[in-house]
Amino acid sequence: MSRLLAHITYFDASVTAGVDSRTSAVKTSAAWRDFNFNAVVRLLDEMECAYDSFAMIEAVVDVNEGHAYQDRLRQWRASACAAAAAPATSTSAARALAAADGHASSPPSSSHGRVAVRVAAHTLAHPFRLAWAHREHMAAELENFDWFLSVEGDTLVPGRAMSAQVALAPTLYTKHGLLLGFTRVVNDSAGNSFFSDIVRPAARTTILALDGLGDFVTPTNTYAAVWAYPRNVMRAFVKSSDWKPELNTKTIRGMRERAAWGWRHGHIVTPVHGSALRIYHLGKSGPYHVKQRGHNSWPVDKLVER
């Protein structure tokens, strides 16, 4: 069984207030901050209960110095898997978490004790640099883990999505030089599902039919705020220009996204059929569902043009 090193980027609005004026009112509210904490706990519980491809998971939660929830995270213990969904502390948080319930993994009935959590507090020149905090640690641990996962704290990566990665990604890269990407999905309060980042379909002529693996396509937007790579991919990724580009603190546009994109200039594809690689942007689901410049509004059945 494999070993997974996961880094979770988790901002607290009490520290980062004012960074994004469009959403600062929401992100400094008690409901939002409690929700975000519960989303991280839910992800940890999902790792414990449903990441069955891994015998051991080291989950590092990267937080800003002074993060109000860091001590509570350090007290996290693997819960009984029958109750894997984290309890929400507000009605709106409950609705946002529930928006993905129909799509998340069904956990087994017992806890395996596979996850070890470490909270790492960082003092940074700009809060968005927190998204890069995992780079040095992952590079140093390259030969000690089989898989590497980077995820933003308000995103749920179901166990079935990681199982699909383990089943497909190594062969995709070894035989075809392709990277297996996730597609990020939001759900509104009525249960309708939309892509979070994709705003138009890929051309049907770009579909790749790979013997023994299925049909794949490069989405029109390969960003998903999450990436997962096996060691053979990571060995090449850490040598690429996408691993540690120059970052100017005076020009913050795209700083966080460049880290969360992963190997952006690799050849990222995702399956044409099925939902195995879908992950859930809880931070824009349920009562927090907001359509922005076409995002969070493209139907999930339109990955490829008809």
Locus of tokens 């880290």: 259
Chain-wide mean pLDDT for the chain?
87
At 204, which amino acid appears?
R
**In a domain? residue 154:** yes
Question: How do residues 131-154 score in pLDDT, each as one tens digit?
Answer: 999 999 999 999 999 999 999 999
26: pLDDT strictly greater than 90: no
Q: Is 270 helix (H, G, I), strand (E, B) or coil?
A: strand
Q: Which two tokens stand for residue 34?
A: 């409690």
| CA distance linking residue 239 with residue 15, whole number of Å | 33
Give percent of the chain above pLDDT 70.
Answer: 81
The total number of structural domains in the chain stands at: 1
**C-alpha torsion sign, points 287, 181, 127, 41:** positive
At 138, which amino acid appears?
M
pLDDT band at 163 (very low <50, low <70, confident <90, very high): very high
Residue burial 40-74, b: 16+ Cβ < 10 Å; e: rest: bbbbbbbbbbbbbbbebbbbbbbbbeebebbeebe
pLDDT reported for residue 81: 79
Residues 224-241: what's their mean pLDDT?
Answer: 97
Question: How do residues 257-284 score in pLDDT, each as one tens digit?
Answer: 889 999 999 999 999 999 999 999 999 9
Residues 49-60: what's their mean pLDDT?
Answer: 97
**Which DSSP state fits 95?**
H
**In a domain? residue 305:** no
How many other β-carbons are positioned within 10 Å of the β-carbon of residue 8? 26
Is residue 107 a contact partner of residue 42, using CB atoms and an 8 Å limit? no
CATH of the domain at 249: 3.90.550
**In a domain? residue 306:** no
**In a domain? residue 89:** yes
Cβ contacts of residue 21 below 8 Å, gap of 6+?
A: none
**In a domain? residue 30:** yes
| CA distance linking residue 243 with residue 266, whole number of Å | 11
Q: At what angle do helices 91-98 and 30-50 cross, to 10 degrees?
A: 40
**In a domain? residue 259:** yes
Domain hosting residue 199, numbered range: 2-299
**In a domain? residue 84:** yes
**In a domain? residue 187:** yes
